[in-house]
Amino acid sequence: MSYTSASLLDLFKFRRKNTPIHKLDPRTKLYYAITISILSLIFSDIIPLGIIFLSIIPLFIIAKSFKFLLKTLQGLFFLVLIILIIDTLFISLSIAISMSLRLFCLISSFSLFFLTTHLDDFSQALIQMHFPYSFAFALSLSVRFIPTLGLETKMIMDAQMSRGLELQKGNLIKRIKKFIPIIIPMIVLSIRRALLIAESLEARGFGIEKKRTYLYQLKLTWKDYLITFILTIILSLSIYFVYFYGLPPILTTKLPI
């Protein structure tokens, strides 16, 4: 796996830490990510987008995950470079910078959500937001088996390599064909596993009770309500200013190029 892709996946993986942001309800954090995303799409000027981006940084620091923010920037480096070059050549430098900032805001806001939210809490949040239980369950089941699948893929690769399969050699088409001996056992084993899991679920009463109960329930605290309130105010004011009143000229300064 290339360095870039490894770091990109990393910043969406939950790390258990004891920070105020980790303790917030996942719904609040999701609302935050969505709000920031909408804001970064509403504004197209450098200064407002810059302000939004700068506002995300302290949150990462509070969540003790600043290094992951840096990794985001690192991971997006090439993409941003391409955007900067193309947009500057064809449109303007201002637009180029705005687009880049927008990208950063979108990705880092969701990254913050995923870094600070455990999958189970996310799953529970979905359930309490009245998503169907089977949907949330399918999600957590898939994620739970990712390490297992990863290990199994490794074992399959070991077995096939020991029969002379060379995955690194050959042109692109040949290399893709070489993955067939890896993919097929994976699929077969996954299907077999799925059947076994289904039997085990059936034997433990999965799906019977319409009123399923939950050992842990998420509860919203005053902090959650406060943050949601503040975010809503910011969002409403932004929409008003951008679409109805008009932004003060200083905020819409553009670069000469």
Shortest reach from residue 117's CB to other proteins, in Å: 13
Which H or E run includes 223?
A: helix 222-240
Stretch that binds other proteins, among 61-69, 88-96, 103-111, 155-163 (CB under 8 A): 155-163
CB-based contact 113:29 (threshold 8 Å)? yes
DSSP run (H or E) holding 239: helix 222-240
Which of 148, 221, 236, 253 contacts other proteins by CB under 8 A?
Answer: 148
Sign of the Cα pseudo-torsion (168, 169, 174, 177, in order): negative
Residues 174-193 that bind other proteins (CB under 8 A): 180-181, 184-185, 188-189, 192-193
CB of 250 to other proteins, least distance (A): 50
CB of residue 46 to other proteins, shortest distance in Å: 42
Single residue of 47, 88, 128, 152 touching other proteins by CB under 8 A: 152
Our finding on whether 197 is near other proteins (CB under 8 A) is yes
Task: Tell which one of 171, 204, 219, 250 touches other proteins (CB under 8 A).
Answer: 204
The reply on whether position 218 binds other proteins by CB under 8 A is no
Helices (H), 129-179: 133-161, 172-178
Sign of the Cα pseudo-torsion (207, 208, 211, 213, in order): negative
Helical residues (DSSP H) of the chain, grouped into ranges: 3-10, 20-23, 26-42, 46-62, 66-90, 93-116, 119-128, 133-161, 172-178, 180-202, 222-240
> What SS3 state is found at 15?
coil
Q: Is 57 in the site for other proteins (CB under 8 A)?
A: no
Select the residue interacting with other proteins from 4, 5, 134, 200 (CB under 8 A): 200
Cα–Cα distance between 85 and 101 in angstroms, integer? 14
Q: Shortest distance, CB of residue 122 to other proteins, whole angstroms?
A: 11
Binding site for other proteins (CB under 8 A): 119-120, 140-141, 143-144, 147-148, 151-152, 155-156, 158-166, 180-181, 184-185, 188-189, 192-193, 196-209, 211-215, 217
